[in-house]
């Protein structure tokens, strides 16, 4: 299975899903109203990875800003990971945030609401 | 017809502490340009990054609300930001159909009744509900605006009665009704042309 890489734009996230390492990275901001297809492609890819590869996943999230639509779609993505985890898959989510940034609150919401090992990590 | 007095407009904006205003068609590509401008202006004012981010967030949700729900023409609306001594206020307005006014007002009233904890619970519940293409479902954007600001969302409704019929439409309708008469079929009911202007305002307190 091939890696999944998308370069960031001002309104869409940088995506770097590395299959051999099992390290998936999402970084940046997403606030386009037309993100359905963007996130759908991630979900389709993730389901394929789980079905065809199924190795442990480390997801590193360095989010700057998500609008409501993108937040909803990120939740959809994390719910797929949760299902994988609940079926015995190995998953670790690292939620990076800058000190004082309210993206920390979003990470805490997700951590409390999902059955996933999710660590909040502060960075400079 | 007299020219619109731009100086009056400008003076009124200054007097009301409005430092940003956009009126017209909202489009997805417009958002990033507007947001960059607002961020630059606020940084230059020396505003804290945390407050700028809150403004960013509320602005985007209100602007995208216009983009998604404006009735007459998709994306037609107005949005502005006031800068007062103790707070910023973001107001956004657009036309919606009169038939939708009640349910919209009820949604806002319901959000305003919720405690901080209840807002969070409803937000997470809505995030987990199934997605539809292009729709977040259940006004997650408004829940985010309420959570970020920590203040109620003010709603103001002004009924606007106007005839949206153009001459071309009238001629078409006339011919169509004649055709219906000839065919002895029922002429379809005219679409509802009654709109209301709905204005939402969200206050963001400064850290003082």
Mean pLDDT of chain A: 94
Q: Please give the residue of chain A at the shortest CA–CA distance from B68.
A: A33
Using the predicted structure, report yes or no on whether residue A19 has a pLDDT greater than 90. Answer: yes
CB contact under 8 A, B128 and A69: no
Sheet with A57-66, edge to edge strand ranges: A4-6, A14-18, A23-30, A57-66, A91-98, A118-123
Measured between beta carbons, which residues in chain B are less than 8 angstroms from residue A109?
Answer: 120, 123-124
Cβ pair B49:A71 closer than 8 A: no
The residues that bridge with B82 in the sheet, in sequence order, are: B18, B89
User: What's the mean pLDDT when you consider all of chain B?
Assistant: 85
Most confidently modeled of A34-38, A44-48, B74-78? A44-48
Q: pLDDT-based confidence at B52, cuts 50/70/90? A: very high
Of B35, B50, B131, the CB nearest to A76: B131
Distance CA B73, CA B58 (A): 23
Residue of B nearest to A66 (CA): B57
**Contact assessment for residue B37 and residue B52, using Cβ atoms and an 8 Å cutoff:** no
Model confidence pLDDT, tens digit, residues B149-170: 999 999 999 988 655 555 666 6
CA-wise closest residue to B142 among B173, B172, B110, B169: B110
* H runs (alpha helix) in B86-133: 98-113, 116-128
- Give CA–CA dist B188/B163, Å, rounded: 18
Chain A positions in Cβ-Cβ contact with residue B62 (cut-off 8 Å): none
Q: Which two tokens stand for residue A20?
A: 């051999």
> Which residues of A fall below an 8 Å CB-CB distance to B?
10-11, 31-34, 36, 65, 67-69, 71-73, 75-76, 79, 100-102, 109, 113
Do the chains contact at B124 and A69, CB–CB below 8 Å? no
Give dist(CA B56, CA B60) in Å, integer: 6
DSSP-assigned beta bridge partners for residue A63: A28
B28·A109 Cβ contact <8 A: no
Phi and psi (nearest 5°) for A112? -75, -30
Residue A124: predicted pLDDT:
77
- A40 Cβ contact partners less than 8 Å away, ≥ 6 residues apart: none
**Mean local confidence (pLDDT), A95-122:** 94
Cα R_g (chain B), whole angstroms: 21
Would you call A110 exposed, middle or buried from its count of C-beta atoms within 10 A (0-12, 13-18, 19+)? buried
**Measured between alpha carbons, how far is residue B21 from residues A31, B77, B199 in Å?**
20, 11, 14
Q: Decide if pLDDT at A35 tops 80.
A: yes
Please report the pLDDT score of residue B82 as a whole number.
97
Cβ within 8 Å, pair B61-A31: no
DSSP state of B11: H
B91-119 pLDDT, tens digit per residue, is 999 998 888 899 999 999 999 999 999 99
- DSSP-derived 3-state class of residue B165: coil
CA distances, A14 to each of A8, A9, A38, A64, B74 (Å)? 4, 7, 11, 11, 30
Pairs of CB atoms within 8 A across A/B: 70
Burial of B34 (0-12, 13-18, 19+ CB in 10 A): middle
Q: In chain A, what percentage of residues exceed pLDDT 70? A: 100
Nearest residue on chain B to A9, alpha-carbon basis: B32
- What token pair was written down for B42? 């606020």
Residue A84 has pLDDT above 90, yes or no: yes
Query: Best of B30, B136, B144, B149 to disrupt the A interface by mutation (most A CBs within 10 Å)?
Result: B136
| Least Cα separation, residue B126 to chain A (angstroms) | 8
User: How many Å lie between the alpha carbon of B63 and the closest alpha carbon of chain A?
Assistant: 11
Chain A neighbors of B37, CB-CB under 8 A: none
Cα–Cα dist B42/A27, whole Å: 24
- Looking at CA atoms only, how far is residue A104 from chain B in angstroms? 12
What's the pLDDT score for residue B26? 85
- Which residues have CB under 8 Å from A9's CB, separation 6+? none
Per-residue buried b or exposed e for B148-173, using 16+ beta carbons within 10 Å of the residue's own CB: bbebbbebebeeeeeeeeeeeeeeee
Query: What separation, in Å, do the N-terminal and C-terminal C-alpha atoms of chain B show?
Result: 48
C-alpha–C-alpha distance, residues B136 and B126, integer Å: 8
């Amino acid at each position: 299975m091939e890696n999944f890489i998308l370069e960031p734009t001002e309104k869409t996230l940088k995506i770097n899903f590395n299959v051999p390492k099992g390290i998936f990275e999402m970084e940046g901001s997403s606030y386009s109203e037309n993100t359905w297809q963007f996130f759908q492609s991630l979900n389709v890819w993730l389901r394929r990875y789980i079905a065809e590869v199924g190795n442990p996943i480390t997801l590193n999230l360095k989010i700057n800003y998500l609008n409501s639509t993108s937040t909803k779609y990120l939740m959809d993505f994390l719910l797929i990971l949760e299902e994988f985890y609940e079926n015995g898959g190995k998953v670790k989510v690292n939620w990076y945030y800058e000190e004082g940034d309210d993206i920390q609150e979003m990470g805490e919401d997700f951590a409390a609401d999902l059955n996933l090992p999710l660590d909040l990590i502060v960075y400079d | 017809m007299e020219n619109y007095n731009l100086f009056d407009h400008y003076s009124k904006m200054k007097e009301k502490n409005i430092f940003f205003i956009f009126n017209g068609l909202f489009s997805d590509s417009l958002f990033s340009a507007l947001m960059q401008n607002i961020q630059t202006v606020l940084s230059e004012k020396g505003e804290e990054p945390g407050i700028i981010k809150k403004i960013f967030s509320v602005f985007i949700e209100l602007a995208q609300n216009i983009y998604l729900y404006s009735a007459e023409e998709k994306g037609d609306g107005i949005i502005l930001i006031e800068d007062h001594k103790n707070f910023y206020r973001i107001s956004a307005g657009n036309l919606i159909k009169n038939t939708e006014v009640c349910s919209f007002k009820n949604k806002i009233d319901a959000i305003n009744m919720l405690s901080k904890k209840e807002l969070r619970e409803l937000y997470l519940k809505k995030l987990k509900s199934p997605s539809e293409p292009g729709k977040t479902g259940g006004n997650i954007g408004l829940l985010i605006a309420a959570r970020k600001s920590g203040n109620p969302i003010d709603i103001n409704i002004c009924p606007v009665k106007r005839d949206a019929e153009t001459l071309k439409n009238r001629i078409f309708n006339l011919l169509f009704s004649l055709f219906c008469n000839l065919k002895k079929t029922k002429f379809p009911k005219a679409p509802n042309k009654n709109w209301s202007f709905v204005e939402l305002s969200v206050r963001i307190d400064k850290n003082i």
